[in-house]
A and B are shown apart, each in its own frame.
Chain A
Amino acid sequence: MGIALNTLLMLIVAISITGVINRCRAILAGRKGLPFFQHIYNVRLLMRKGAVYSTTTTALFRIAPAVYLGSAIVAILFIPIADLNPLISFEGDVICFAYLLALGRFALILAAMDTGSSFEGMGASREALYGALIEPAIMVGFATLAMFCGYTSFADIFAHEQSFNLHLTIVMLLTAYLFIKIAFVESGRVPVDDPRTHLELTMIHEVMCLDYCGIDMAMIQIAGWLKTASLSMLAANAIAATGCFHWWFATPLAILLTGLSVGVVESTQARNKLVRNTTFIVTISALAALIFFIGYLLQLNINI
């Protein structure tokens, strides 16, 4: 029962975040904006369309969306929602989660190179660079949780009811902040990337999908929602763990955390210059290292 509810709620989170972002942007721009579920209608439309493939591409190009979506689906099955249990859980699944995301990215990069387009090649090179730079942040973030809680599975890390504890609160809040930052990068949002731009030369994630259409494009978009949802849910769990550790608190929190923060940032900020993205992402890794260090010191029970 709990497992089914957990999976269902994850899907709801994945669907809702994009809607919240769009609504938030529309309100801040003073526009009427898209309907909340417009992105679902768009994907439904894509699913009904056939696909056209460039003659230069190989099977790699056709497999990639399925790999990307498949890895994202498996990845969200690891994530618990506060006190609910996830479908899959085993010792060390945090590592598996991180590299499932990496696998999806790797498939998409190969597919982009496969098209032989100069745009997509540039996109792939950018995605590979940023993917490599954000990886330490993700791993160190998980390491902090694992070290602090003593488990290497998401279900265990969050499941063991923690009594209120100042040290835990500090570490959890910092980790939540880290995961939100990572979600910005992973889902290609301002200030790192701009999903709305029509300028191929400035794109990162979008440019890799230029040659996709129809069902493949739908798969890529759904995978993107799932990735964002899983990272957002991790952040929400971390916050919920500090006080109100219930699924009815963590679920809306996950939607609003990413939805509102992305919406506000995208409305009020410009994108980074591309060369500054590396600095931005390395800073996230540095932040992760700092949080790990704080977690370590707190665990030694030094009085602060």
Chain B
Amino acid sequence: MHYYITNNTSTEAVAIKDIPEVEYATLYNDLKERLKQEQYHVAHYFATPDENRLMFYIVLLDDKEHQIMLARFAMEYYDDIALPSLTALHPALHPFEREITELYNVHFGSMPWDKPLRFAEARRNRNSTIDNYPFYTIEGESLHEVNVGPIHAGIIEPGAFRFICNGEKVLHLEIALGYQHRGVESEFTSTNNRLRQTLLAESIAGDSAIAHTSAFAAAIERLSDNAISDSLATERIVALELERMAMHIADTGALSMDVGYQLGQVACEALRTMTINTTQAWCGNRFGKGLIRPCGTNKPLTKEKVEMILSNVEQISRRYAEVSDDIQSSPTLLSRFEHCGIVPQNEMQRIGGVGMAARASGLLRDIRSSHPWGAYNTEPRHDSCTMHDGDVMSRLKVRCEEVQQSAQRIKSLLEGYTTSEKHLRPDYECNLKPSHLSFGLIEGWRGEICHVALTDDKGQISTYKIKEPSLHNWLALALAVRGEGISDFPICNKSFNLSYCGHDL
């Protein structure tokens, strides 16, 4: 089958007419075979109305050849032919097909379970609400159901967890999300104000503000033919790696807290504060809001800031190494983390896990090495860290390792960095090319983030689709706790640390 082939270093958007329009049967047969191979995975698959048709776009990633493959197919608006479901063969596609079904009432034949994905505002079936969520049930004398949420203790976002337990052992966990749905995607198309759109991108998921804004900026820059300078690309990657360090350190602390290990918790909390304060000293916001702007920047790195970042990162990486050694050699912690919440590699691939959780299961999914952009294209190439056990300990080790890698990356990028005199200011007025498709593909700290923007014939964004890595990985969490004690759910959950609002959009 013919795809439009591009890659993550391209600086141009793709004209929609250049994307080959195929028959669904062709695509189905092609994907059926391709997705059996580990090198392919689907980054995005969505439908959008196009005059009186429904146009489906698919963004397929080839990790081995570093290619991004695009294709589309159409369906007449009043067709009610059931398309055969790909989810039945490759469960990795379940969130995409469920979303299409929810939004457009397109039913895929033999779809195992097309329950609603996030109860989007624009859903077709208004009777399907979050209050009548079709929870899975099992009958049995000795079984009991434990419902946790949707309102949780502390500052956790809303989401309902329904456990079916046999005593203390979890047989099944079902995660019901959608409580955080804000209609982010439609907000993007409801305004032409680029600054507003940028601020929206910053608030898709608060803990990945830099990653999402980078993906948005990349999509806009491709659409407006504004290739950014190397120094700006470098700054964005430094910011992204700072975000990764901060979140990985915070999660190490949170894991320590959940098992009642106070020393690890307080040490990591202090280090995380130091990391986000570094970002704050750079751009005025601890989470990097205001730092990434399309086509330019308001917060260029100065010589003093470079020195400040370098010395802070050096100190953080040294102190974090001590904490992580301590955690990895403490018997009481090892007995909690090892062999707990296992997701084997084949399961991870089947459900389409991405990011650090996938790498902890031995599945190499890392946009930095498979589809490098910006400074990841220069030597030394990013060498992704993978573990094999897929348990909580592996996910913790991946975090420990990646913090050091990020520190190393920031160091190597900034040591040879010369602050350029003239920095472009952000451009909120630039015209976008009409009838084009553009994407932003970034490896955030949680995993791959894929934004896709479509413009109409007047050059305005007509469709904006966002994919957060949590969309795939929530299912991994549900699999991880199967057969575990219910009291180990919190550490399994924390080891993934998935986003509710990123999933619900």
Contacts and interface: CB of A to CB of B under 8 A. Distances in A.
B49 interface: no
B485 interface: yes
A190 B148 contact: no
Interface stretch (B196-204, B243-251, B258-266, B278-286): B258-266
Contact of B263 (A190, A267, A273, A276): A267
A29 B263 contact: yes
Nearest to B330: A270
Interface of A: 25, 28-31, 118-119, 121-122, 190-191, 194, 196-202, 266-276
Nearest to B334: A270
11 contacts: A118-B144, A197-B258, A201-B489, A202-B487, A267-B262, A267-B263, A268-B261, A271-B259, A273-B335, A273-B340, A275-B485
Contacts, number: 78
A31 B266 contact: yes
Given A118-B146, A271-B336, A273-B488, A199 B258 contact: yes
Nearest to A204: B487
Contact of B259 (A25, A270, A276): A270
Nearest to A271: B260
Interface string B319-356: 00000000000101101100010000000000000000
Given A270-B330, A273-B488, A274-B488, A197 B168 contact: no
B335 A201 contact: no
Given A201-B487, A273-B336, A274-B487, A268 B146 contact: no
Nearest to B488: A273
A118 B147 contact: yes
Interface residues of B, number: 28
Contacts of B266: 29-31
Contact of A122 (B335, B486, B488): B486
B332 A270 contact: yes
Interface of B: 144-148, 153-154, 168, 256, 258-263, 266, 330, 332-333, 335-336, 340, 485-490
B332 A199 contact: no
A266 B260 contact: yes
A119 B146 contact: yes
B485 A274 contact: yes
A79 to B, nearest CB: 29
A204 B383 CA distance: 44
Nearest to B259: A270
Contacts of A122: 146, 168, 486
A273 B261 contact: no
Contacts of A267: 262-263
A74 B258 CA distance: 36
A219 to B, nearest CB: 23
A270 B260 contact: yes
Contacts of A28: 262-263
3 residue pairs, one from A and one from B, having the closest CB atoms = A270-B259, A274-B487, A270-B332
B342 to A, nearest CB: 14
B484 to A, nearest CB: 10
Nearest to B161: A201
B146 A273 contact: no
Contacts of B489: 201
Contacts of B261: 268-270
Contacts of B487: 201-202, 273-274
B421 to A, nearest CB: 44
Nearest to B486: A201
B195 to A, nearest CB: 38
Given A199-B490, A270-B333, A273-B485, 16 more contacts: A28-B262, A29-B262, A30-B266, A122-B146, A122-B486, A190-B260, A198-B153, A198-B154, A199-B153, A201-B487, A202-B490, A268-B262, A270-B260, A271-B259, A271-B336, A274-B487
Contacts of A118: 144-147
B146 A197 contact: no
A25 B263 CA distance: 10
A273 B490 CA distance: 12
Contacts of B260: 190-191, 194, 196-197, 266, 269-271
